[in-house]
Amino acid sequence: MPARTLYEKIWDAHVVREEPGKPSLIYIDRHLVHEGTSPQAFSGLKSAGRKVRRPELTFAVMDHSVSTKNRALPLLDPDAVAQFDALARNCQECGINLFDMQSRNQGIVHVIGPELGITLPGTTIVCGDSHTSTHGALGALAFGIGTSEVEHVLATQCLTQFKSKTMQIDVQGRRPAGVTAKDIILAIIGKIGIGGGNGHVAEYTGEAVRSLSMEGRMTMCNMSIEGGARAGMVAPDETTFAYVEGKPFAPRGKEFQQAVEYWRSLATDSGAKYDTVVTLRAADLAPMVTWGTNPGMVTQVTSRVPDPSSFSDPVDRKAAESALVYMGLQPGTPIENISVDRVFIGSCTNSRLEDLRTAARVVSGKHVAKSLKQALVVPGSRVVKAAAEQEGLDKVFRDAGFEWRDAGCSMCIAMNDDVLPSGERSASTSNRNFEGRQGKGGRTHLVSPAMAAAAAIEGHFVDIRKWRGAEGVE
Amino acid sequence: MQPFTKHTGLVAPIDRVNVDTDQMVPKQFLKFLTREGYGRVLFYDWRYLPGEKPNPEFVLNFPRYKGASILLARANFGCGSSREHAPWAILDYGIRAILAPSYADIFYNNCFKNGILPVTLSSEQIDELFDRTQKNEGYRLTVCLEHQKVTDDKGLKYSFTIDPFRRDCLLKGLDDIGLTLVHESDIAAFEKKNLHVPAMNSPLDVKYHQS
Ligand code: SF4
């Protein structure tokens, strides 16, 4: 057999049927569902008189519109209530596992999948959500789909797919202190552009990636889609196996050992060819801050807001001009001089225990700046929340002037009542700084948890590598 | 699904790169339970001023583009969120075809599921079409999927390529799920074969969460 990449091995293992000139039919091992993109799929299924083929492989959760304040209070938004009710009803009728608002395992779909062992190496995973790419951190093939495809998976447990091109993103050498997984992925997107990965599945390789924890790898894979790649992957290794072992839905005992043996065989063969190769040197990387209205409009914290006239392509120049108008920024402004109104630590990019630990270390014994209107910590899941409370992180955050919330998507997408008001500026650990993403007219700067935490204390961006509170930030 | 064969219509330009699906349908409209009625909210934050008054500066509100059914766009159109609400809104607004130099993968795919034809042309061709649209009020194009051609009545004729399978499904308005279910026996055989592969397609401890 010719040398194959990780992607190709998982693909080959899931082909149900192929015919030359047509997309392949591939089998889906895990289907994740949330309230936002599923109601039309269930109603389509029903009106066609079709059934869910493998309900036990489908897992549903309420995350996008849930309140992060108090689960006991009645929901005020009737549209959100209708959507939650629809999900509960659909899951009940079809026999699908549902983690509802009250479940102790509730959380953001991309946080709970890995955490519960639903996400496993070598599996195919889809969800009606573009950040499904997150799960690739475990060495799974995971990607976002539209609602019509959600319906297709419900009905057939398969998808018709064209094979993607492969892209290796090799981050060479050791990661400098203060440069996190978030900074690496932002630097990658800055380099390849937000459409740079279109048509590709990305595999992250290199020492700087290998040395990341599972949480860090998830942060990187999460934002693959922001570089245009539908999926991002990291080959499973000892770090992966140690993470998976003992997770509630993961195989146990002898089964686990057999699984590990299989998972080991998935790593890209030496000599396998990628369609595109991108390399970065970790030593060149620095903490990153976005200045514009997409994740590719990003620069190092020590740098300045760029001048649109420096862009050679007229289309890019125009985009930069309108981004600066929206963001209310002047060209040439040092990034460290940008002050923020609100800080949001959360989202499927950066809301896991490691992220919260890092942020807590930064803010411990300090207090958020007087000028700050709000500082929010929203754990990615209730499991994360409980673990953080066990360590006393909630107290650290509260003492520093942060609000400590319940799990959900929250201000990443502002479908609940956590909204960035128009004209205000946030430092956010989420993944999208699109216009209006956190609230109409809101201005989002994407950063790592350490950088967001430090910005909360100072009221403006600081270089975490030199900052007084940065001890212990890796 | 509504088939797409050939369509002639007024062209409206969205002269902006990387238009993301958050702009097409902002999050406050993701809470509905149906696929219909999203046309009103297409490009909501750009299109309306407070009180849902049309913003006279937004291109789709220009009287000359009223009734447009072909959208002319820039690179990486439809990036970001996988929300299929975006193509639902485009279709409900009355758009049947999009012309752009490139698209984001999920959006591109979603268009085909909804009877919208996303045509890929070169940047130079797209530049030329922007130019013609700007210069000629009431500029119309014909997009023919059968012959894979984009034409106007002034002699412009561009060919485009498209995957033959996608083309066929769109021409006939085929139901994807129905096509897959024809292969039921292959799916069942695959499941049987892989039942014992550890952690692949194996039933899980489904009682865990019930507490
Ligand atoms: S946290 Fe944000 S990006 Fe992640 S699933 Fe929720 S809304 Fe989407």
pLDDT in tens, A341-376: 999 999 999 999 999 999 999 999 999 999 999 999
Does position B42 have pLDDT exceeding 50, yes or no? yes
- Residues A211 and B159 sit within 8 Å (Cβ to Cβ): no
Model confidence at A453, in pLDDT bands (50, 70, 90)? very high
Model confidence at A473, in pLDDT bands (50, 70, 90)? low
Does position B211 have pLDDT exceeding 60, yes or no? no
The rounded distance, in Å, linking the Cα atoms of B90 and B25 is 9
In total, chain A counts a number of residues equal to 474
Residue range A177-188: mean pLDDT, rounded: 97
Model confidence at B175, in pLDDT bands (50, 70, 90)? confident
Q: Using CB atoms, pick whichever of A64, A116, A319 lies closest to residue B16.
A: A319
Q: Say whether B31 and A80 touch across the interface (CB within 8 A).
A: yes
Does position A471 have pLDDT exceeding 70, yes or no? no
Looking at every residue in chain A, the average pLDDT score rounds to 96
Ligand 1 mean position, distance from CA B195 (Å)? 32
Tracing tokens 């289309």 back to the chain, one arrives at A315
- Residues A203 and A234 sit within 8 Å (Cβ to Cβ): yes
Q: CB of B185 within 8 Å of any CB in chain A? A: no
pLDDT at B30 (0 to 100)? 95
Residue range A52-74: mean pLDDT, rounded: 92
Model confidence at B197, in pLDDT bands (50, 70, 90)? low
Q: CB of A120 within 8 Å of any CB in chain B? A: yes
A75: how many CB neighbours lie within 10 A of its CB? Answer: 17
Residue range A99-118: mean pLDDT, rounded: 96
Residue range A253-282: mean pLDDT, rounded: 95
Q: Say whether A37 and B190 touch across the interface (CB within 8 A).
A: no
Bridge pairing between strands B149-151 and B140-144:
antiparallel
Q: Say whether B177 and A248 touch across the interface (CB within 8 A).
A: no
Does position A398 have pLDDT exceeding 90, yes or no? yes
Does position B206 have pLDDT exceeding 50, yes or no? no
The percentage of chain A sitting over the pLDDT mark of 70, rounded to a whole number, equals 99
Residue A404 backbone dihedrals phi, psi, to 5 degrees: -110, 115
- Tell me which residue of A19, A31, A244 sits closest to B201, measured CA to CA: A31
In total, chain B counts a number of residues equal to 211
Residue nearest to atom 6 of ligand 1 (CA): A409
**Secondary element (H or E) of residue A440:** none
Chain A partners of B199 at a C-beta cutoff of 8 Å?
A: 120-123, 250-251, 255, 259
Does position B203 have pLDDT exceeding 60, yes or no? no
- Tell me which residue of A237, A246, A239 sits closest to A266, measured CA to CA: A237
Does position B196 have pLDDT exceeding 90, yes or no? no
Does position B201 have pLDDT exceeding 60, yes or no? no
The CA-based angle B101-B83-A59, given to 5 degrees, is: 135
pLDDT at A415 (0 to 100)? 95
pLDDT at B209 (0 to 100)? 37
A229-266 per-position pLDDT tens digit: 999 999 999 999 999 999 999 998 888 999 999 999 99
Does position B135 have pLDDT exceeding 70, yes or no? yes
Q: What is the ipTM of this complex?
A: 0.94
Model confidence at A391, in pLDDT bands (50, 70, 90)? very high
pLDDT at A70 (0 to 100)? 87
Q: Using CB atoms, pick whichever of B17, B30, B186 lies closest to residue A415.
A: B30
Residues 47-106 of B with CB under 8 A from A: 74-76, 79-84, 87, 102-106
pLDDT at B200 (0 to 100)? 59
Dihedral Cα A143, A146, A148, A151, nearest 10 deg: 50
Report the SS3 class of residue A391.
Answer: coil
- Residues B81 and A433 sit within 8 Å (Cβ to Cβ): no
DSSP A80-126: HHHHHHHHHHHHHHHT-EEE-TT-TT-B-HHHHHHHTT-S-TT-EEE
Atom number, ligand 1, closest to the C-alpha of residue A110: 5
Residue range A184-204: mean pLDDT, rounded: 97
Residue range A263-272: mean pLDDT, rounded: 96
Model confidence at A330, in pLDDT bands (50, 70, 90)? very high
Atom number, ligand 1, closest to the C-alpha of residue A432: 3
Report the SS3 class of residue A434.
Answer: coil
Report the SS3 class of residue A304.
Answer: strand
DSSP state of A139: T
- Residues A387 and A470 sit within 8 Å (Cβ to Cβ): no
DSSP state of A195: T
Does position A13 have pLDDT exceeding 60, yes or no? yes
Contacts of A85 (CB under 8 A, 6+ apart): none
**Secondary element (H or E) of residue A196:** none
Can you read off the two tokens belonging to residue A145? Answer: 């789909």
**Secondary element (H or E) of residue A189:** helix A181-192
Rounded to two decimals, the pTM is: 0.96
The rounded distance, in Å, linking the Cα atoms of A85 and A42 is 13
Does position B65 have pLDDT exceeding 70, yes or no? yes
Does position B205 have pLDDT exceeding 60, yes or no? no
Atom number, ligand 1, closest to the C-alpha of residue A63: 6
Q: Calculate how close chain A gets to B10, using CA atoms only, in Å.
A: 24
Does position B208 have pLDDT exceeding 80, yes or no? no
pLDDT at B194 (0 to 100)? 84
